[in-house]
Amino acid sequence: MSSSSRRSGACVRCCLVLCAVASALCVSAPALYWRFNKTLASSKSSCPPCVCDCPPPLSLHNIAPGLVNLSVSDCGKHDPELNQEMEKQFVDLVTEELKLQEAVAEEHSHHMNATLVEAKRLASQYQIEAEKCNVATETCEGARERSEALLTKEKKITALWERRARQLGWQGV
């Protein structure tokens, strides 16, 4: 390293330290000044406190006795124009609230109607499927009964033929 680069590095460090000290003094100097000034002022005043015979400060009740009893809710209560305007605002708010409730009720009703229509459609579809099942069951039951009757008839015919065959000398198993 060369001596000029060492000198410039030392110069930069020196400048940074000076900036840091100056910043610290700028920040803390006013507080230190007022603290020092306050201690000087308290050490200078060694006389006892003054005794004054001043009257007590006037209260709001003494200045305007009726002003204390008023409240914000009484403000403008006796002004017919203000009452009318406030009533309009109240009516507008209530009207808006009723409109919102009506819109919500209408939307709820629309949703319920749509759900009811869907439920009716599904119930109708299930009813049709149930009727198809009933018809198929009845058809199967009728076919079973006919098969059973035919089987019974066939057994009777088979028994008759077997009896005739035995009478004619058939020796079956």
Integer-rounded Cα radius of gyration of the chain: 56
Q: What is this structure's pTM? A: 0.35
**pLDDT digits over 135-168, tens only?**
999 999 999 999 999 999 999 999 999 999 999 9
Q: How confident is the model at residue 113 (pLDDT cuts 50, 70, 90)?
A: very high
Residue with tokens 């609230």: 97
Average per-residue pLDDT for the chain: 82
Residues 91 and 102: their CA atoms lie apart, in Å, by 16
Residues 152 and 146: their CA atoms lie apart, in Å, by 10
Element (H, E) at 138: helix 80-167
**pLDDT digits over 102-111, tens only?**
999 999 999 9
**pLDDT digits over 58-99, tens only?**
666 666 665 555 555 556 667 777 777 777 787 888 888 999
- Core vs surface per residue 123-143: b (16+ CB within 10 A) or e: eeeeeeeeeeeeeeeeeeeee
Distant-in-sequence, close-in-space partners of 82: CB < 8 Å, separation ≥ 6: 76
pLDDT greater at residue 63 or residue 101: 101
pLDDT score recorded for residue 140: 94
